[in-house]
Amino acid sequence: MAVKRIMLLAVLLFSAVNASALDWPVWPDSTNQQVSATYGLVQNEIYLHTGIDIAVPQGTPVYAVESGYVKAIITLYDSPSNWRIAIADSSGTEECDGWMYAHVDRYNIYVMPGQWVEAGTLIAQVVGWSDPNIVRHLHFSRIRFSGDQYAWSNGFWDWEFIDNPLLYMENIYDPDPPVLDLAVGSQLFGFCSEGYPEYFAEGEPLSGDVNIICSAYDYVNFYQWKSVPYKLEYKIEGDSSIPWMTSVCFNEPMGSYNGYMCTYKSIIYQNDGVCNTSFTADSQAMFFNLTNTDGDGIVEVEDKLCCWHTMNFRNGDYWVYARATDLGNNVTVDSMLVTLGNYFELSGTITLQGSSSPAGTIVTAVENGACDTTDESGHYAISNVGIFEQLITVQRPGFTSFDTTISMDQNYELNTTLLLDYMCGDANYNAAINILDATFLINYIYKGGPIPIPIEAGDVNGNGAINILDVTYLINYLYKDGPEPVCPEI
């Protein structure tokens, strides 16, 4: 397997992501923000990062990005660092969308539950942490929920996290392209069998249903630890191809902590003994299953069953590509050459017309030249016949060759009988027609001599019987320009 570096493009972008871009919630400085954790970043064995972390100092003022009603002011684990404010677009109990501002200082919260807040209102300050190694930040999430104030205040683990906040922000400063790192050893990708944790060794041909695993990360103007790209895609080029398929795009709902989030994570990320996704302050490793997708850009439970069905591709070399994109319009593309080798066994028994010694017949799969020679019982077995339509030949000197085409999508048994290859009138089977054949026939008819090989070779006039008329016919052909022998077909 070979790795081919294709493209590394970095574009510095200061324009708005969309026409209705919002100011950042940490004014007055709303440019060149550092995002220390992105939406969809793995957090632990179960959870994903439900928003973006904006790295700012303790005491940084926090402002409402949109007008709305304060739905809840709560903390988690009775922690002074986990106070958060939810502001949404409805004062009622119906389902509504809003924003969560987390890690604010409880002593510097300037709004009350139920209060109407205009966009741009100062609502809080960023809190400090007792652990000096934790980067001070505002956690900012797009949320959805329903219910009264009590439900909001007590239902945090059921709040839905519905979108990537970076999509709404103005002036994203992201100067660095995403990175496609080596996934397994010196390989750009890891390849494992669908449903099994076993990985193909480097250089080993791929076969069956295969998952493609990549390692990818990104920075958004913050370099203490890694985040994830906005979008990952893959494609395959070769004898047959798969166009660009979106593996994951972090622009969709990931569910709640009590709901879909764990399933969503298990579809996107690969976590096993080889490609172990993990995130700590000291080490980050993010492995993505590129083939867990049907290509519609929406992560669904059924996508976990998707893979590269290599049985639908002819054996040979293919380029596997990955593309990583971030919201600064930076794109990284890389690729790796792999070989497909799907094989089945072709076996059976070859018998010979007029012979009790079938050993030595050669059976060949023409496409890759795989072959075997029959044993004394006429049996053969070829273990490495390729897939799809395969031309099979059966050959032996003195016998008519047998050719057939087989669709190899499983192990296959082929049994046949080779017919003698003969000239009509060559009764003694010496590859020539002459007076010796007439003598051979007379000896067979009147003196119990050997049988013509094959017997049809002696029926020179083609009337279904061997007698003196065939001898006369043959002599007339040899010496008096009579008609050619017309033996019956075998």
Q: What is the 3-state secondary structure (H, E, C) of 10-56?
A: CCCCCCCCCCCCECCCCCCCCCCCCEEECCCCECCCCCECCCEEEEC
Q: Which residues pair with 382 in a beta bridge?
A: 346
Residue 445 has which token pair?
């008819």
Delimit the domains of the chain by residue range: 35-168, 179-340, 345-418, 423-489
* Nearest CA-CA partner of 34 in 57, 65, 58: 57
Q: Which residues pair with 168 in a beta bridge?
A: none
CA distance 33 to 169: 10
Q: What is the pLDDT of residue 334?
A: 99
Q: What is the pLDDT of residue 15?
A: 38
CA distance 407 to 402: 17
Round the CA-based radius of gyration of the chain to a whole number and report it: 38
Q: What is the pLDDT of residue 13?
A: 40
User: Is residue 268 helix, strand or coil?
Assistant: helix
CATH of 345-418, one of 2.60.40.4130, 2.40.50.140, 3.90.660.10, 3.40.190.10: 2.60.40.4130
Q: What is the pLDDT of residue 480?
A: 92
Contact between 254 and 286 under an 8 Å Cβ cutoff? The reply is no
Percent of the chain, pLDDT > 70? 95
Q: 250: which residues sit within 8 A by CB, 6+ positions away?
A: 38, 39, 40, 164, 228, 230, 231
CA distance 146 to 151: 8
CATH architecture for segment(s) 35-168: Distorted Sandwich (2.70)
Q: What is the pLDDT of residue 132?
A: 85
Residue 207 has which token pair?
């076969």
Q: What is the pLDDT of residue 10?
A: 42
Residues of the chain under the 70 pLDDT cut: 1-20, 28-29, 490
CA distance 117 to 129: 27
Per-residue pLDDT tens over the stretch 80-115:
999 999 999 999 999 999 999 999 999 999 999 999
CA distance 177 to 137: 23
* Nearest CA-CA partner of 86 in 156, 177, 8: 156
Distance of CA 400 to the CA centre of its chain: 45
**In terms of C-beta distances under 8 Å and separation of at least 24 residues, what long-range contacts does 127-132 make, across chains too?**
127/58, 127/80, 127/81, 127/83, 127/103, 128/58, 128/59, 128/81, 129/81, 130/81
CATH architecture for segment(s) 423-489: Orthogonal Bundle (1.10)
Element (H, E) at 117: strand 116-117
Which amino acid is residue 221, in one-letter code? N
Phi first, then psi: give them for residue 108, nearest 5 degrees. -135, 50
Q: What is the pLDDT of residue 301?
A: 94
